Amino acid sequence: MPKDLQNIVLFQQVVALLQSARQQVLRTVNSTMVYTYFEIGKMIVEEEQSGKERAEYGKQLLKELSQQLTKEFGKGFSVDNLQNMRKLYLVYSISDSVSNISKEVNRKYETVSSIFQNESKEKLSKFTANFLLSWSHYIFLMSIEDVKERGFYEIESIRYRWSLRELKRQYDSALYTRLALSRDREGIKKLSERGQIIEKPKDIIKDPYILEFLGLPELNQYSESDLEEEIINKLEHFLLELGHGFTFVARQDRITFDDKHFRIDLVFYNRILKCFVLIDLKIGELKHQDLGQMQMYVNYYDREKRIEGENKTIGIILCQNKSNLVVEYTLPENNEQIFASKYKTVLPSKEDLIKLIS
């Protein structure tokens, strides 16, 4: 190997090692800081409960503690932040029974250990493993009242290293609600305990998809080509909305047979399911011909593009509106390859979302 190339390889290896070390240090610092805040919250609650339950006493306690800590340690110990520390302890401890806390800590510890499987479990105490996100993440998570929903977003943030901005976006787009509404009681329980687990094609499907990041109006004031163009321009955001394991393959992929040309709007590959995912974009109402066309695309990919070891191709039609009966009677009863989902270009409220899906 030439000396210059050896130097480049060495540089890349050193950079990778340093970046990994920085990430590890950051995770350790975050965990230690949040767990310290948890302990401070515990001390505050225990002091409040030591025979002095008057609200006035609690307020005065936080005010005096804030002044003393700010004088000693500087910023970060405002009354509001101390209240958040108190809430952290209440939300992640007292609000559940001791047995449930123990089970949840053990379960989360196993989940975290599997996520960071390259790191020895000895490095992850069960206490710090319970707080692997930043303090800002937990302040936001504590605002989610539903315990199952909060657990889902926490696990997904840890597993996929969502930034606070990404976490807020997924919450604002009601990701948990969209996934939960297509699952039974046991499926919802798994969402809160394990996050989104992808085992079959249906697991990657959302209905609707929320594309507010495109900046397009809700009404039909744009064409299918405009929609496709904006998706390509915001591909990183679109991949985040699609979900886990997606990589971009092609745009306007042409297939030809019998001297006829057809173009598939967008082609992706899902690394988890090990299959191609074809996406067709439709403005307005979904027609049965659209489903038939997607079936043709999927069949072509299965017979001409799929290689040994890959699973069957999935086709998704994104449309503004659809009849569930048209979808049901057009596709075979045992269908596991073709899906039709609505998309919205503005963020709906959770109430509107439930109406949209029902």
260-270 and 275-281: which strand pairing?
A: antiparallel
Residues contacting residue 222 through CB under 8 Å, at least 6 positions apart: 216, 283
Residues contacting residue 168 through CB under 8 Å, at least 6 positions apart: 140
Give the tokens for residue 49.
């409960």
- What is the CA angle 191-194-197, rounded to 5? 75
* Same-domain pairing of 174 and 232: no
Is residue 338 within 8 A of residue 331, CB to CB? The reply is: yes
* Same-domain pairing of 181 and 227: no
Does position 88 have pLDDT exceeding 80, yes or no?
Answer: yes
Please give the residue range of the domain that contains residue 300: 201-357
* Same-domain pairing of 291 and 245: yes
Where does the chain have alpha helices with state H? 3-48, 55-73, 79-89, 98-115, 135-141, 147-159, 164-172, 175-180, 185-194, 224-233, 235-242, 288-300, 324-330, 350-357
**Can you give the pTM of this predicted structure?**
0.74
Domain count, the chain: 2
Tell me the average pLDDT across 154-159: 90
* Same-domain pairing of 308 and 333: yes
* Same-domain pairing of 271 and 145: no
Highest mean pLDDT among 150-154, 274-278, 284-288, 351-355: 274-278
Is residue 214 within 8 A of residue 345, CB to CB? The reply is: yes
Place of tokens 């001297």: 259
Place of tokens 């919450």: 171
Highest mean pLDDT among 121-135, 192-206, 238-252, 336-350: 238-252
* Same-domain pairing of 220 and 347: yes
pLDDT at 55: 58
Question: What CATH number corresponds to the domain at position 342?
Answer: 3.40.1350.10
pLDDT at 99: 34
Q: What pLDDT, in 10s, does the model give residues 298-312?
A: 999 999 999 999 999
* Same-domain pairing of 183 and 331: no
